[in-house]
Amino acid sequence: MRAIVQTGPEVVEVQERERPDPGEGEVLVEVHSAGLCGSDAHAFLYHGDYEWTTLPRVVGHEYAGRVAALGAGVDRFEVGQPVVEEPVHECGHCLQCENGQGNVCQNVYIAGMHGDGGWADYTVVPAEHLHPIPEGVSLREAAVAEPASVAARAVFEQSRLSPGDSLLVEGPGPIGVLSAALADAMGADVVVSGLERDRAYRLPLVEEQGIDTVTVGDGALATAVEERTESGFDVVVDATGHHTGPGTAIEHVRRGGQVVIVGIPGQLSELSLAPAVRGEVDIQTSYGSLWADFERALRLMATGEVDVGALQDDSFSVEDPEAAFRAFLDSETLKPVFSLGED
Ligand SMILES: [Zn+2]
Ligand SMILES: [Zn+2]
């Protein structure tokens, strides 16, 4: 079978691999569509916080496919059934898992990071990490279920956003755009901010979804606050992953509002928390997702509340995975999706 393998920093290649066999409790999945995630791009560069990823390894954790074979003892699935993996495997027995906080499990295993992932014709998964795909969601769309679940957690669980609230989403990457789409679907007044380079692809894509955008610089955010809000945004979601993101959020949220940090900003240099404390701004983080967030994302896709298909870019070929990484890192695309299987 074909597999896209990262063999070193900034080196990915298509290799011929033996098709794996499902062991006890496992399912063999024939992959149909597989997406590129921001974390895959960081792992590709192999820098900073991603040097723990194993090499060589089959890349990818955002994918959907059909059950091809069942290992011993698996009775929850049928051959041919459409499924999507929840790629962050919680251990099930640490303090956090015992308390329903598996998204911050102490012994977490991420498919495609700690070991082989789903950018291959076939992959093997423990059955308990598979979700059945509901009717109305295509295999291609389901490949975005994982980032959609991360956005669903940030917007519906960790933020206190309500319909009618004003929301600034900083950062038009996949999580930012999906968060904006979900918040828009719930009836919030959403604006997404990006950089000049995002004007080429990502911000126009957001505007096509009927969501307003603003390009950061020359006081554009202050103008947006003035034009759209009474005294600042009710909620700001920082999905930039940049060290200036939280500071910009605190600057543009209203007193008594909330900042939700879902990007991973690294070391913050000159952040003053004084305005946040004096304004009693609620600073909240959001990390990964739980089973229920995943199910909620799939349902919102099934009912058509969010059109994730419109955000996907299938112009990249499995034969040249590096092109997708380069385009993503240059903000020339939002969510590359490789097509591996046939419809
Ligand atoms: Zn992801
Ligand atoms: Zn755990």
* Strand ranges (E), the chain: 2-8, 11-16, 26-35, 57-58, 62-70, 82-85, 88-89, 109-110, 122-126, 130-132, 166-170, 189-194, 212-215, 233-238, 253-261, 282-285, 312-313, 335-339
Q: Is the pLDDT of residue 343 over 70?
A: no
**What residues does the ion ligand 2 have nearby, CB within 5 Å?**
90-91, 94, 97, 105
pLDDT in tens, 14-45: 999 999 999 999 999 999 999 999 999 999 99
Going from the Cα of 279 to the center of ligand 1, the distance in angstroms, rounded, reads 34
Going from the Cα of 305 to the center of ligand 1, the distance in angstroms, rounded, reads 21
pLDDT in tens, 257-308: 999 999 988 788 778 899 999 999 999 999 999 999 999 999 999 999 999 9
**Mean pLDDT across the stretch 225-249?**
96
Place of tokens 């999580």: 175
Going from the Cα of 248 to the center of ligand 2, the distance in angstroms, rounded, reads 34
pLDDT score, position 342 = 74
Q: Which of 225, 224, 65 is nearest to 145 (CA)?
A: 65
pLDDT score, position 265 = 85
**Range in 71-85, 114-128, 165-179, 265-279 with the lowest mean pLDDT:** 265-279
Going from the Cα of 243 to the center of ligand 2, the distance in angstroms, rounded, reads 29
pLDDT in tens, 221-230: 999 999 999 9
**Mean pLDDT across the stretch 64-76?**
97
Going from the Cα of 88 to the center of ligand 1, the distance in angstroms, rounded, reads 9
Q: In sequence order, what are the beta bridge partners of 335?
A: 312
Going from the Cα of 100 to the center of ligand 2, the distance in angstroms, rounded, reads 9
Going from the Cα of 61 to the center of ligand 1, the distance in angstroms, rounded, reads 6
Ligand showing the shortest atom-to-Cα distance for residue 43: 1
Q: Is the pLDDT of residue 195 over 90?
A: yes
Q: What's the CA gap between 44 and 310, in Å, rounded?
A: 25
DSSP 61: S
pLDDT score, position 229 = 97
- Does 2-143+307-339 carry CATH code 3.90.180.10? yes
Going from the Cα of 249 to the center of ligand 2, the distance in angstroms, rounded, reads 31
Share of the chain above pLDDT 70, in %: 100
Q: Is the pLDDT of residue 87 over 70?
A: yes
Ligand showing the shortest atom-to-Cα distance for residue 38: 1
Q: What's the CA gap between 318 and 80, in Å, rounded?
A: 23
Ligand showing the shortest atom-to-Cα distance for residue 42: 1
Ligand showing the shortest atom-to-Cα distance for residue 109: 2
**Mean pLDDT across the stretch 69-85?**
97
Q: Which part of the chain is CATH 3.40.50.720?
A: 149-285
Going from the Cα of 95 to the center of ligand 2, the distance in angstroms, rounded, reads 7
Q: Which of 187, 69, 171, 53 is nearest to 125 (CA)?
A: 69
Going from the Cα of 39 to the center of ligand 1, the distance in angstroms, rounded, reads 6
Place of tokens 């024939």: 30
pLDDT score, position 341 = 85
Tokens of 115: 């070991």
**Mean pLDDT across the stretch 138-163?**
97
The whole-chain average pLDDT of the chain stands at: 96
Going from the Cα of 325 to the center of ligand 1, the distance in angstroms, rounded, reads 14
E strand or H helix at 38: helix 38-45
What b/e string do you get for 267-281 counting C-beta neighbours within 10 Å, with b at 16 or more?
eeeeeeeeebeebeb
Going from the Cα of 89 to the center of ligand 1, the distance in angstroms, rounded, reads 13
**Are 287 and 158 spatial neighbours (Cβ–Cβ below 8 Å)?**
no
Q: Which part of the chain is CATH 3.90.180.10?
A: 2-143+307-339
Ligand showing the shortest atom-to-Cα distance for residue 118: 1
Ligand showing the shortest atom-to-Cα distance for residue 96: 2
Sign of the alpha-carbon dihedral angle for 166, 172, 176, 182:
positive
Band of the pLDDT at 80, cuts 50, 70, 90?
very high
Read off φ and ψ for residue 286, nearest 5 degrees: -145, 130
Q: Is the pLDDT of residue 233 over 70?
A: yes
**Residue 104: half-sphere exposure toward Cβ, Cα within 13 Å:** 9
Going from the Cα of 64 to the center of ligand 2, the distance in angstroms, rounded, reads 24
Going from the Cα of 287 to the center of ligand 2, the distance in angstroms, rounded, reads 14
Ligand showing the shortest atom-to-Cα distance for residue 111: 1
**Are 185 and 211 spatial neighbours (Cβ–Cβ below 8 Å)?**
no
What b/e string do you get for 14-51 counting C-beta neighbours within 10 Å, with b at 16 or more?
beeeeebebeeebbbbbbbbbbbbbbbbbbbeeeeebe
CATH domain 149-285 topology = Rossmann fold (3.40.50)
Going from the Cα of 163 to the center of ligand 1, the distance in angstroms, rounded, reads 27
**Range in 44-48, 55-59, 192-196 with the lowest mean pLDDT:** 44-48
Place of tokens 């999906």: 178
